Structure 1
Amino acid sequence: MLVFCVVTLVGLLTAAASWYTIDHANRMSFAAIAEDAVQRLSDRIDTHVLMINAAEAFFEADGEVPSADNFETFVGHLKKNERFRGVQGIGFARYVRTGPQSDETIAREIEKNYGISRAPWPETTEEIRTPIVMMEPQTSRSFGALGFDMYTNPVRRAALLAALSENRLRASGSVRLVQEPSGSSQAGFVMYTPFFAATSGRILGFVFAPFRVGDLFDAALNRLPALPVHITAWDGEPSDSSLIYTSPGKPGTHFGTSEEITTSLEVAGRTWRLEIHPSEIYSPPSDQTQTFMLVIASVLLAAALAASSHSQQRTIEVGEALREESERALTEREFLLQEMKHRIKNMIARVLAISRQTARASEDLQDFSKSFSARLQAMAASQDLLARTAWQGADLETLLTQELKQLFGDDPIEDKFTGPKIELNETATQAFGLAFHELATNALKYGSARAPGGTLNIAWSIKPLPGKKADLVLTWSETSPEPFDAQEVEPLGTKTGFGTKLLDATIRGEMGGSITSVKSERGIDVTIRVPFDRVTSAASKAKPGTKSRK
């Protein structure tokens, strides 16, 4: 096995190095492809930004808003040198105060420019209007947008105010374009730059360009050489509401296409988040075939070497087994001696601890002698049960019956037990023996056993926990014929009584369990919960079908 493991490990490490090298090369290759895709998008957007800046420069050169004919000629020359896919054109929107007079002025300007009788729309409660008065190139879509007041839309309005306050080009968030054909689901956005009068510096309006995001991405990415990428884009932080584009199809799902690149793209003051995956047509430049072949070869070589050394190994093992058997006998003998010393030492320590605590809680020598003797008897009874089973454990019901008979006689009160047969291990036998003694003593002094007519019900069960191991749960329920005397009873759970401290030390400390009590006017219910795997002896199992009743 050592030869097999070493040779296999060396082969696996070599294969892992090969895997890492190939995977790293593939990742670097796809990162370069993703970077190329982002650069194409950036270049495309920069081209359109330059187009808008050129239109702004045309306005600035004229000093005032140019005529519709001159603007049409300018945009026509731009169209000869630039593909307009993605951008829906270039336009100009007037900046005016809301009112009937400005609406009439806008309507006259639209009619003068394009021969269309149209007032600004829609109705608004804002103090400012920014209706579209020029839009090129002239198409049915651009004519349909004339007169549209972009200030009425909160997303467009935020971009207009940002461009005006910063006096620079700014893009809007995702909007549905006015020029968008019916039934289309593409997201859109608009870029704005303010235009001021040359003489007065008064804001006259905004040069703008609307964009269809899907067409913009397709125009940037669908050119040779084709890039095998699947891109998802959001305007801002990724969410369903901010999604603006998803490539057609699905990301690649075949082996070697799990790479993912997350980046961002600045678009005129807006941040687009991009998530780039390999597409379905992506094929890694280097596959991992040689890595798998290396793993198979390593395993075969390791198996051959292991088989050749196995026969020699068996000869050595026979001689070693004889030597180990002799040493094991000596070791077991020494272990038994050490275990006996350890048990005696622990027992002496426990007796000393009980004597000190009992002395502190006793009022006189007679009280001390009575309490101390009773607790030693409980310990002795537990040890007697352990001795009967060679210190491997004791039956829970037998331990409980023996403890109660010592305190109450054969039948001092009406009591009954209910629960499965459980074989306790050594630690649990000592812990539960002392716990039963303290609970029975408390019942005898203060509770159900101090007067005729009291009842005592003791039940235990094994309760499995969801996702955890089972617990042993034991309930001690006693009812007194007379109300408890608040002046006499020391409630279980106080920090002053030795009984409580002893229960804490045994149940909580040694067994890792818990103990809770609920006291009423005539009774008390005590629940002990201990992990079941810390209760049973190594060779025993609970038998839920076996129950006893007394």
Structure 2
Amino acid sequence: MMRRRPGPLPVFVFLAATAVGAGLVWAVHVVESQRDRTDFEASADLAVDRVVTRIEKHVVLLQATRGLIAAQEGELNRLAFDRFMATIDTINELGGVQGLGFARLIPTANSPAVEAEIEARYRVDVQVRPPTTEPWRTPIVMLGPVTDRNLVALGYDMYVDPTRRAAMGRAIVSGLPQMSGPVELVQEITQDKQTGFLIYLAFGTGPDTPTSGFVYAPFRGGDLVRAALAAGPPLPVAVTVTDTEAPDRPIYTSPDKPLGQGLVLQRAVELAGRQWSFTVRELYPPAPWRRNIGSLLVGVISFLFAGAAAAAVSARQNEAEQVRALAAAARREAEYRGLLLNEMKHRIKNHIARIQSIARQSARGATDVKAFTDAFDARLQAMAAVQEILAGTAVPQADVRSILRTELRQGLDTDQVEHLMEGPVVRLDERQAHAFAMVAHELVTNAMKYGGLTPEGKGLRIAWSLGPGPDGAEEVTVDWGERFAATPEAGAPPPGFGSRLIDASLKGELSGTLTRDFHAAGLRILLRFPLKPAVGAAAPEQMAAQ
């Protein structure tokens, strides 16, 4: 017994299991990605927080310095200021900041007095610089701790620089600490220069106040961010810090370069009146397969499971295949027997109706018993000839007229039959002739039982023709018309076995169509079916010869 190929169920099971597995893989991938993203964002946010916290600590020191000066009633006492600076852990508290200082706000004409003040406080001869056309100056008059870098800054007028001046203006207006944009500090006296910035806190009420000015802190950006990031366990990130209003002058760029294409985080933070942008990158991104190892394992397991499930279903199908084949064969056998039984019943009824019609027609023109017997026997022989066509054992006349003539002679006289038909010679091959004879047999039988050939009927007319079909090939059209004494009020009767047999023969064997039209005068049926290329109608000369 030939083994059938497995059906689509194993493929469906495999695809369904694969789809479920793909969903699990995606879910695991999303969880892994979210986990990695969450871990990275935690490290990145911690790096940003360390820098922000460091700056906030310096702001607190500025506020403490302003409090010290206020406690001294505005007197800039170096001894008290040095003691204050000694209390500060310069490594941990001042990491990244150059110191804490005070810049006095004075009219430009008072520069000599400030120079004398600085010389008296630090024993250094400095001049207020650089030259300016501004009416006001803010020279640095005190800065600690005392270092070479800070001593160089004494006397520098920060009001000359527009970036510093803008920050001092905001500090006066707001009364809050204000950060400047990126600048180069005066303390940058070596080749190792860094981008810097300053934070100002206004002190005093105006230029008429004896000690009006700004408590301030100068920062080296690189030192500040490095010190902030080092204040705790190392973080696996690379940080770039820029002022959003001066992106072309970064405050800090991590010297460590990421080893591959990793995650990136952007943060914008408001700091003392400025906005800083933090770009944090993953410093040691894992390889893609390592980052998604969980989803890869789930994918492999899901694929193996899908294959195993499909194989199991295929095996069950193969085991049940013989049982299904036997059941199908038994079902087909039962259907075939039922069809034979129905056809036999139908044919018996048709034979009885035909014999009754033959008897009526024979008795109608008979003058004695012998005439009736001769006519009756002749029609029975015609019926037998048609049965041979229907059985497919012989085709005496394989053309439309001969088949119709043979069928009609079962119930009508020969002279009557010839007057009922009109059409050219159309030859059919054996298969077409058999199918058309089946259709004609059923139509004649119905006409004898219900239509134009009943005792109450008013006749029958059959015409056929050849012409081009929709696809250009030759097509046979048979126009079958019956006239009734009266059309039933209920309209067309429901189709019976004979009608279904006509439709099956016409559509299945002849590849044709059939339309029925019950009208006031009777019934019209149009049959159309294509003529095979090798078979055609006879020429007019042949028709004349026949």
TM bracket (short chain): 0.5 to 0.7
Aligned to 2:184: 176
CA contact (8 A) 1:7 1:298 kept: yes
* Paired AA for residue 68 in structure 2: F
* Paired AA for residue 275 in structure 1: T
Aligned to 1:118: 126
Q: 1:2 aligns with which of 5, 12, 15?
A: 12
Q: Equivalences for 1:28-47 in 2 at 5 Å?
A: 28-47=38-57
User: What is the aligned residue count?
Assistant: 314
CA contact (8 A) 1:261 1:276 kept: yes
Aligned to 2:484: none
Aligned to 2:263: 259
Q: 2:30 aligns with which of 20, 41, 47?
A: 20
Would the alpha carbon gap of residues 18 and 176 (structure 1) be closer, same or farther in structure 2, given more than 3 Å must change?
A: same
Matched, 1:204 2:212: yes
* Paired AA for residue 247 in structure 1: S
Would the alpha carbon gap of residues 115 and 8 (structure 1) be closer, same or farther in structure 2, given more than 3 Å must change?
A: same
Would the alpha carbon gap of residues 21 and 195 (structure 1) be closer, same or farther in structure 2, given more than 3 Å must change?
A: same
CA contact (8 A) 1:194 1:203 kept: no
Structure 2 SS opposite 1:265: strand
Aligned to 1:379: none
Give, in angstroms, the shift of residue 47 of structure 1: 1.0
Structure 2 SS opposite 1:296: helix
**Cα distance in 1 between the residues matched to 2:146 and 2:209:** 30
* Paired AA for residue 251 in structure 2: I
Structure 2 SS opposite 1:141: helix
Would the alpha carbon gap of residues 50 and 300 (structure 1) be closer, same or farther in structure 2, given more than 3 Å must change?
A: same
Q: 1:250 aligns with which of 246, 249, 257?
A: 257
Give, in angstroms, the shift of residue 186 of structure 1: 1.9
Aligned to 2:58: 48
CA contact (8 A) 2:263 2:285 kept: no
Give, in angstroms, the shift of residue 37 of structure 1: 1.8
**Cα distance in 2 between the residues matched to 1:191 and 1:67:** 22
Matched, 1:150 2:158: yes
User: Gaps (5+ residues) in structure 2?
Assistant: 1-10, 323-467, 473-546
**Cα distance in 1 between the residues matched to 2:97 and 2:143:** 12
**Cα distance in 2 between the residues matched to 1:241 and 1:190:** 18
Q: Equivalences for 1:402-417 in 2 at 5 Å?
A: none
Q: Equivalences for 1:356-395 in 2 at 5 Å?
A: none
CA contact (8 A) 1:63 1:198 kept: no
Give, in angstroms, the shift of residue 203 of structure 1: 6.3
Give, in angstroms, the shift of residue 69 of structure 1: 2.6
Aligned to 1:241: 248
Matched, 1:192 2:200: yes
* Paired AA for residue 202 in structure 2: P
Q: Equivalences for 1:296-375 in 2 at 5 Å?
A: 296-306=300-310
**Cα distance in 1 between the residues matched to 2:82 and 2:186:** 20
Give, in angstroms, the shift of residue 133 of structure 1: 1.2
- C-alpha deviations, 1:199-234, integer Å up to 9, x for none? 965662111100111111111111332111211111
Structure 1 SS opposite 2:98: coil
CA contact (8 A) 1:129 1:151 kept: yes
Would the alpha carbon gap of residues 337 and 91 (structure 1) be closer, same or farther in structure 2, given more than 3 Å must change?
A: farther
Structure 2 SS opposite 1:22: helix
Aligned to 2:140: 132
CA contact (8 A) 1:236 1:242 kept: no
**Cα distance in 2 between the residues matched to 1:223 and 1:84:** 12
Structure 2 SS opposite 1:253: coil
* Paired AA for residue 235 in structure 1: D
* Paired AA for residue 104 in structure 1: P
- C-alpha deviations, 1:343-387, integer Å up to 9, x for none? xxxxxxxxxxxxxxxxxxxxxxxxxxxxxxxxxxxxxxxxxxxxx
Would the alpha carbon gap of residues 46 and 337 (structure 1) be closer, same or farther in structure 2, given more than 3 Å must change?
A: farther
Give, in angstroms, the shift of residue 115 of structure 1: 1.1
Would the alpha carbon gap of residues 112 and 337 (structure 1) be closer, same or farther in structure 2, given more than 3 Å must change?
A: farther
Would the alpha carbon gap of residues 199 and 60 (structure 1) be closer, same or farther in structure 2, given more than 3 Å must change?
A: farther
* Paired AA for residue 31 in structure 1: E
Structure 2 SS opposite 1:78: coil
Give, in angstroms, the shift of residue 338 of structure 1: 7.7
**Cα distance in 2 between the residues matched to 1:282 and 1:266:** 33
CA contact (8 A) 2:74 2:210 kept: no
Aligned to 2:103: 93
Aligned to 1:232: 240
Give, in angstroms, the shift of residue 240 of structure 1: 4.3
Normalised by the length of structure 2, the TM-score is 0.53
* Paired AA for residue 8 in structure 1: T
Q: 1:84 aligns with which of 83, 91, 94?
A: 94
Structure 2 SS opposite 1:125: coil
Would the alpha carbon gap of residues 65 and 13 (structure 1) be closer, same or farther in structure 2, given more than 3 Å must change?
A: same
Structure 2 SS opposite 1:91: strand
Give, in angstroms, the shift of residue 305 of structure 1: 4.6
Q: Which 10-residue stretch deviates more, 241-250 or 210-219?
A: 241-250
Higher-Rg member (1/2) = 2
Would the alpha carbon gap of residues 3 and 61 (structure 1) be closer, same or farther in structure 2, given more than 3 Å must change?
A: same
CA contact (8 A) 1:122 1:152 kept: yes
CA contact (8 A) 1:252 1:277 kept: no
* Paired AA for residue 221 in structure 1: L
* Paired AA for residue 117 in structure 1: D
* Paired AA for residue 49 in structure 2: Q
Would the alpha carbon gap of residues 199 and 115 (structure 1) be closer, same or farther in structure 2, given more than 3 Å must change?
A: closer
Give, in angstroms, the shift of residue 58 of structure 1: 0.5
Matched, 1:269 2:279: no
CA contact (8 A) 1:228 1:282 kept: no
Give, in angstroms, the shift of residue 187 of structure 1: 1.3
* Paired AA for residue 252 in structure 2: Y
Give, in angstroms, the shift of residue 61 of structure 1: 0.9
**Cα distance in 2 between the residues matched to 1:225 and 1:128:** 47
Give, in angstroms, the shift of residue 245 of structure 1: 1.4
Q: 2:293 aligns with which of 289, 292, 295?
A: 289
Aligned to 1:409: none
**Cα distance in 1 between the residues matched to 2:285 and 2:125:** 52
What percent of counterpart residues are identical?
35
CA contact (8 A) 1:64 1:197 kept: no
* Paired AA for residue 217 in structure 1: V
CA contact (8 A) 1:5 1:302 kept: yes
Normalised by the length of structure 1, the TM-score is 0.52
**Cα distance in 1 between the residues matched to 2:180 and 2:469:** 86
User: Gaps (5+ residues) in structure 1?
Assistant: 317-335, 341-550
**Cα distance in 2 between the residues matched to 1:173 and 1:129:** 19
Give, in angstroms, the shift of residue 163 of structure 1: 0.8
- C-alpha deviations, 1:168-187, integer Å up to 9, x for none? 21110111111124222421
**Cα distance in 1 between the residues matched to 2:221 and 2:57:** 15
Structure 2 SS opposite 1:243: coil
